[in-house]
Structures are given as C-alpha cells and as structure tokens.
Structure 1
Amino acid sequence: MEKVLLIDDDEELTMLLTEYLVEEGFDVSAAHDGRAAIGEATSGSVDIVVLDIMMPHMNGIEVLQRIRRLSAVPVLMLTAKGDDVDRIAGLNLGADDYVPKPCSPGEIAARLRAILRRAGRYAPAPEVLRAGELVLYLASRVAEWRGKPLDLTGTEFSLLEILARNAGQLVPKQDISKRAFGRALTPFDRRIDVHISSVRQKLGAREDGQSWIQSVRGQGYQLLQNY
C-alpha cells in the first residue's frame, strides 16, 4: 500500500482528499504546516508527497527546496489556477507534476498513480471501471460508451466515475460535490447540475426515451443500469 503524505493548510480539503485516497487503496497521512512536514517527507517512509504551494509560514516552494536537499521522493504540487510562475519554479526545483486548484480528488489519484508508475512503483487500484456499456480507464481518464470514445472534460469524467461506481443507486449531491470538487455543496451552487446536463447529452437517451442519468429533485443523481 503506497504511503501518501498530504501537505496542505486547508484542513477541510485535506480531510476530504484523505477519505477519497484511502478508498482508492492508498495509505494517507496529512500535515498542515510545511516546516513541520519536511522531516516526515524525507524520512524514507513516504512513497509520494502532495504539496500545496500556498501555505503560511513556509510556502510550498520553500518546502520543496528543503525536501530536494534531502530526498528524491516524488512530489505532486497543488498550484493556484493559472499561476505559471509557481508551476515553473516547482518543476525546475524537481517537482514531478502539478495540478491546478480547484481540482477533483479523482484527478489527483490519477496523477499519483502515473507518477508512481514512472518511479517504478505500483498503486493498487483498479485501472478500468465498467458499468454496463460504459468503460472508464482511470489512469488515463479516458472513457468509452458503447464501444466508442466518449469525449469528456475532466470534471465530467470525475462526475461520471462517481455515478458509475454506484450504478443503479442514488448518489446524494453533497457526496458528489465532496468527491468531485473537494468541497461541501453550498446553497445555490449549480455546478453539478450544469455538468450533469452536459454528460446526459453526450450519453444520449435510452431506448425508452429516458436519460441514462436520473435525478431526484434536491437529493442527487443515479446512473441507470444498462444490462
């Protein structure tokens, strides 16, 4: 079981990401202070580090510098969206990859597996998720529907993965928001509805005219079984 160290001062995000990664088969520990986490990151007991750039006291770039002086442990950076300066600085200092925030737990898990494979390590998680005629390749985040490629955005893939893992069951919107966006659902937040509407169009209608994704008003969504 690969050991992941999360270094991020956002305690809510860290808790949600920890829950998701544990379900995906990782062993996870978390630290909310970069300076205090350097020792654990370089101890040899960690397989990979997820490091947020924006932290108080000592930012992620400084933490990465300290880590690289002592260890070659793989590091996945979390950067602010569109912040090329931090991204480039981190990669130049030896970060293995980066993900701009906000990001889905599913994308982070996929990046972690990719980095671990490149480092010659194996992350024990299913590579392919099937729900009837829907096939999701989790590592590459590629989808197929009825034998043909399904063009999805990153967010759409994350939402469809959540529904496919629970095919035939209602998934509460609060759970979807936490797993797809790493945040609790807030009042008047329509992001899930907008993205689900797009996925529905891409899947098309069932033979009976119904959508493959059913909704229960105010509660959640369900991917219907097709076998």
Structure 2
Amino acid sequence: MHKHSDNDAILLVDDDIPFTRLVGKYLIDAGYDVSIRHNGLQAIEFTKSYTPQLIILDLMMPDTDGLTACKEIRKWYTGPILILTALNEEVDEIVGLEVGADDYIGKPLKPRVLLARIRALMRRDKDYAQSEDTVNVGNMAIYCRSRTVYIEDSLLDFTDAEFDLLVYLAKRAGTVVARDDIYNDILHFKYDGMDRTLDIRISRLRKKISAYENCRIKIKTVRLQGYLFVDNA
C-alpha cells in the first residue's frame, strides 16, 4: 500500500464542522498543512493512503467513534495521535491512551495549549534523530534513529509515546527516575497528583516487554520516588 507522507501535515478529525474550520484555520496560520475529516471511518480511509505527521482525533463522533478509529489506525500508523475529550471524562482519557493514543487534551480547547502539545509531539523525531543512535541495556537494543527495539532477535512493537518513554528510562538505567522529571521531560506538563497518563504508559511498556520470555528488563516502581529501569539478569 503506497502512502504519501508530509512532514508538516496534520489530520484533524471531529464531527463539529464549525470547530474544525476554526481549529483548522488556526493550525494553517501556524504553518501546518491541515486535512479535515468528520468521522472515524473517514479518518481510517484517509490514513490508508496518506501518512500525516500527527493526528488530532475527537472521541465522540457518529458512525465510527474516535476510540474505534484510533485502535484501527494504530495497526499501520506509528505517528503521534492526540485525542480530544470533554473535560472530566477521565474514563475516556484512560481508554483512549490504552488503545494507542499518545496524549489527550480537554475541550474547550485553549489554542496555545493545543499548539504546544502538537509541537512537543512533533519535536520527538527531530530530537531522536540527533541523539545517540543505540542504547543497550541487558539483552535489549534500542536504535534511536530508526526507532526500533530488539530483544535478542525479536523486534518489539511500540507506539511513538511508548518508545520515547522507553528510551528516556533506558538511558537512565540503574537510576531511580522521579515521576516529576518524566512529566516535565517527556509529557511536557506538570504532574498534578491526579493525572494517570504516566501510569498507563508504564503499564503498557511492562506488558509488552514481559511478553518476551527471554527479556531480562524490568521497570520497577520505587515507592514515593519514581521508576527504576534495570537488567534483571
């Protein structure tokens, strides 16, 4: 399946037409190439032929909702997905992250906050292209430029958000990493004591890593301190 890729392209998916016009114009004025779709099915079909650098996906849409679309798109799309959710919908936020979204932002949107989240997600590819190419911990090898991870001869599958967190922890293997530091450096916002984004991502990393019988890597929780990435040989 041939795909066209655009490094400045954003796919905005929401059934609220006035909203997409307003946000689309704001993003275009900020220098991005924006494509707009109004339901999950349209988003799925679009990403089969085109590869935007980032997808903004609303949860509540007719026909095919955002969660269903996100899960389907993740079968072939590895770029960042930012989900839109109404305020206080914690369940939707958690489920959205579990099906493969990288981050979420609440409605009503604050344009500057949206732009900051977009820039943070898009900045990752550039950061890793300039970083050390290979990180080795135990029998895990992480290749930053190609964004691939191997345990011995087995290739692991991670979303962009999971990969970023994995590299961050692996580069600090053997050292307890504070929760606040991860929020500041990886999630790019301050931990408020309630947010569960990091807990979900750590859980997903552990699940994927532990699926390989030969993997010696463990991500340990250090109570009241943070996380410890270790070779448990």
Question: For residue 81 of structure 2, what is the amino acid of its counterpart?
Answer: V
Is the contact between residue 14 and residue 38 of structure 2 (CA under 8 Å) also seen in structure 1?
Answer: yes
Structure 1: gaps spanning 5 or more residues: 123-139, 142-227
More strand, by proportion:
2
Is the contact between residue 51 and residue 77 of structure 2 (CA under 8 Å) also seen in structure 1?
Answer: no
Is the contact between residue 82 and residue 105 of structure 2 (CA under 8 Å) also seen in structure 1?
Answer: yes
Aligned to 1:166: none
Does structure 1 residue 23 correspond to structure 2 residue 12? no
- Mapped partners of 2:124, 2:63: distance in 1: 32
Match of 2:101 among 95, 98, 108: 95
Aligned to 1:68: 74
Deviation at 1:57, TM superposition (A): 1.0
Partner SS, residue 95 of structure 1:
coil
Query: Taking every aligned residue pair, what percent have the same amino acid on both sides?
Result: 41
- Mapped partners of 1:48, 1:42: distance in 2: 14
Partner SS, residue 70 of structure 1:
coil
Matches within 5 A, 1:49-64: 49-64=55-70
- Mapped partners of 1:72, 1:95: distance in 2: 10
Partner SS, residue 2 of structure 1:
strand
- Mapped partners of 1:3, 1:17: distance in 2: 14
Structure 2: gaps spanning 5 or more residues: 1-6, 129-187, 190-233
Aligned to 2:120: 114
Is the contact between residue 40 and residue 46 of structure 1 (CA under 8 Å) also seen in structure 2?
Answer: no
Rate the CA distance shift 1:42–1:105 in 2: closer, same or farther, 3 A: farther
Partner SS, residue 31 of structure 2:
coil
CA RMSD of aligned residues (A): 2.0
| TM-score of the aligned structures, taking structure 1 as reference length | 0.51
Does structure 1 residue 77 correspond to structure 2 residue 83? yes
Aligned to 2:42: 36
Deviation at 1:4, TM superposition (A): 0.3
> Mean Cα displacement is larger for which, 12-21 or 99-108?
99-108
Corresponding residue pairs, total: 124
> Mean Cα displacement is larger for which, 12-21 or 111-120?
111-120
Partner SS, residue 3 of structure 1:
strand
Does structure 1 residue 45 correspond to structure 2 residue 61? no
| TM-score of the aligned structures, taking structure 2 as reference length | 0.50
Does structure 1 residue 8 correspond to structure 2 residue 17? no
Deviation at 1:89, TM superposition (A): 0.7
- Mapped partners of 1:17, 1:6: distance in 2: 9
Question: For residue 24 of structure 2, what is the amino acid of its counterpart?
Answer: T
Question: For residue 73 of structure 1, what is the amino acid of its counterpart?
Answer: G
Larger-gyration structure (1/2): 1
Is the contact between residue 41 and residue 49 of structure 1 (CA under 8 Å) also seen in structure 2?
Answer: no
